Amino acid sequence: MKPYFLEDFGNPSSLHEPGDVASRALEKARRDVARFINAGEAKEIIFTSGATESNNLALIGYAMRNRKKGRHVIISEIEHISIHNIAKYLQKQGFEISKVPVDYTGKVRLEKLQERLREDTILISIQHANNEIGTIQPIREISNMAQEHGIAFHVDAVAAEGLVPIDVQAGGIDLLTLSSNDIYGPRGAGALYIKQGVRVNPIIIGGGQERGLRSGTEDIASIVGFGKAARVIMERMPEEPSRLEKLRDYLIDNILSHIPKAYLNGHPTDRLPNNAHFRFDWIEGESILVNLKTLGVAVSTGSACSSKTLQASHTLISLGLLHEEAHGSLEVTLGRWTTREEIDAFLEILPGVISRLRSLSPLTKMEELKE
C-alpha cells in the first residue's frame, strides 16, 4: 500500500500517466478479489468503503431497481445488525420484510423460508455464516430455492471469507458482500459482487466511478491492500482453516469438560473454524469480558456491552435462549497468529474467573454446581 500513499497517488479516472498507474493497480486488485470468490468476470466486483456500504448497495440498490417486480424481501432473524437496519429502512420505503427463523443451532429453517416465498418476493438475503455464533448456512440449498422461484439471492459473506471456500458461481449467488479488514486487509475497503445481468440502482451518485454504481474517487491504497490480502488468504486457504479448527475443538472440549454449567452456542460442527461461542449459567458476559481484559485476554460478548445497548443479542434470542442465558455468553475467535500456547494460557485463566464471578452472583445455585 505504501507507494500509493507517498508516490503513486494519481486519480484512476485521470488520463495522464499517474492516472494510468492508479488505474492499473485498481484493476489488478479487482481481478484478485474476483479470483478470491471465483467471480466470472473482474467487472462484477464493485469496490466500496466496507461491508455496511456493500450491504446497503445490495439490498437498497436491488430493491429500488426492481420494485416494479415486487416489494417483498426476505432475511433471516440472525442477520448482521446492518442488514436488519437496512430492512427497517426498506419498510419505510413501502417494502415488506419477512424474517426466517433459525433452529437452536442457528441454521436457517428451510421449510420456514419456503413458506415465506411469494409471487412478489424479489430478494432473499442470508449470511454465509453468522458473525457471532459461527454457524454456517446451507447456501446452496437456499440458492436452489431462490433460483426455482426467480428470486435474486444476496449473501453477506463477511464472517466466512477466508475461513471457508466461497464460490459465487458454484453457489448460485447473485450478490455477495465482502470486507477487506476481515481478511487482514485495511479498514475502509469492501466490495460487492454483482453477477452479470443483475441490475441495481446506485445509492451514491456522482462522477460515475465503479460502473456508475459507486461514485467517488477510489481509495487506491486501501483497495490495493484489499487485493493483496485476498491473494495472501488464498495461498493460506489449504492449511489455515484446518489448523484453526483443531485449535477451536481443543478449546471447546476443554471448556465444556472443565467448567460446569458451560454450553456451546451455535452448530457443533457446521461452524466457522475460528469460532467458539459459549454461555455460562448465572453470570453475565460483560463481567467475564472485563475480568479477562484486566488479565490481557481480548474476547467479546454478544450482550449489552458489545452492542452498546441494554438488549441481549438478537442472534442468541433467536436460538431460543432466555434473556438471562443470552447475557451469559462469551465469544472467542482465533486468528492467523493464535497458538496452542495462548489457548492453554487462556484455559488456565478462565475457570478461575468463572468460579469467582459465580461466587459473587446471587443467582448461582451451588447445589447444581456440585452435581
The length of the chain in residues reads 371
Q: Would you tell me the crossing angle of helices 220-236 and 17-36 to the nearest 10 degrees?
A: 30
Pairing state between β 175-179 and 190-194: antiparallel
CB 121 within 8 A of CB 149: yes
Half-sphere CA count of 211, side-chain side, radius 13 A: 17
CB 357 within 8 A of CB 283: yes
Rg (C-alpha) for the chain, rounded Å, is: 22
How many angstroms separate the CA atoms of 280 and 185, rounded? 34
Query: Which cell is 198 given?
Result: 443483475
Residues with a catalytic annotation lie at: 305
CB 17 within 8 A of CB 168: no
Which of 277, 248, 258, 275 has its CA nearest to residue 354? 258
CB 303 within 8 A of CB 327: yes
Half-sphere CA count of 104, side-chain side, radius 13 A: 6
Contacts of 343 (CB under 8 A, 6+ apart): 247, 250, 251, 334
Which of 31, 52, 57 has its CA nearest to residue 223? 31
Identify the three-state secondary structure at position 290: helix
How many angstroms separate the CA atoms of 316 and 312, rounded? 8
Write out the H or E segment, with its range, that includes residue 225.
helix 220-236
